[in-house]
Amino acid sequence: MRWFWIDRFEEFVRGKHATAVKNVSLAEEHMHDHFPGVALMPNSLIVEGMAQAAGLLVAEAIDYNRRVVLAKVAGAEFHFDAVPGDTLKFHAEILDLKPAGSLTRVKTTVGDEVQGEAEIFFAHLEPGDGVPKLFEPEELLRWLDQMHIYDVGRDESGQPLTRPDW
Amino acid sequence: MPSRDEIFEKVKAALVDALGVDEDEVSPTATMVGDLGAESIDFLDIVFRLEKAFGIKIPRGELFPEDVLSSTEYVADGKLNAAGLAALKARMPFADLSKFEANPSVQNFANTLTVEDMVRYVQSKVGG
């Protein structure tokens, strides 16, 4: 089982920015204990959603050639709690990108209100010994399809993204 | 060209953001690893922040020459040899390596770099 903390992308511009959406639901089991009678989406899991939204944006920008691993979270702030029924939007942008790592900023919103923000720093690891494989290619592609990346994704010149042939 | 103090203040801000340390911990003599707790992944974060703060480009390996420190040509029994020390000095003219020369074990290098070395490095870049 994997934890997926974004439901799909609504826009995705290669190497630049993306918006992903998550519908917060009381059907999610973790809500039942966090907290009984007062269900709140844990901000720690929202950080994971931030990392998934920005991480996929980064991974696509480098053609999935390296393993994009969450390395640091800086300046995370949350202004209110997301609750069942809320639609959380993750607005991710790449601030800087080098072969060895990238710096991104992600804001979450509910309606017009900024719910949270953080800078997420990724290390890009070379595949090889000592670096665990994160996904099988077909499994990754299934996730990308589930995220609608190739439905909404555009490259730098506004053309649809090319779905990898794995 | 910014003054040394202006550079120090911006370097300090970058280190406070990257390492989550307090401003008063970032003194010129503080070591990056020993005093400020920088880990290897932090150095890339610091590179990003210095590039943005000063509008400079920092080529890989220029500020932290990890390739010299991991080269079998330069390292034997965990220590940098004379050729390695010469290579390090050539690559890092901004750093005070005198303490490291007394005990050039690779492990020891992590405690060599200071905040003042960062400031001198940026000075060398912005001063052209």
| B39 near A CB under 8 A | no
Give the whole-angstrom CA distance, residue B30 versus residue B111: 9
Would you call B17 and A75 a contact, using CB atoms and an 8 Å cutoff?
A: yes
* Global ipTM: 0.75
Whether the predicted pLDDT of A1 surpasses 70: no
Give every CB contact of residue A162 below 8 A, 6+ residues apart in sequence: none
Residues of A classed as catalytic: 34
Amino acid (one-letter) located at B51: E
Amino acid (one-letter) located at B29: T
Interface test with A, best of B45, B49, B67 (most A CBs within 10 A): B45
At A129 the pLDDT is 63
Query: Which residues in chain B have Cβ-Cβ distances shorter than 8 Å to A74?
Result: 17-18, 20, 45
Say if strands B79-80 and B75-76 run parallel, antiparallel, or are unpaired.
Answer: antiparallel
What's the pTM value of the predicted model, to 2 decimals?
Answer: 0.86
More confident residue, A115 or A136: A115
CA B123 to chain centre: 13
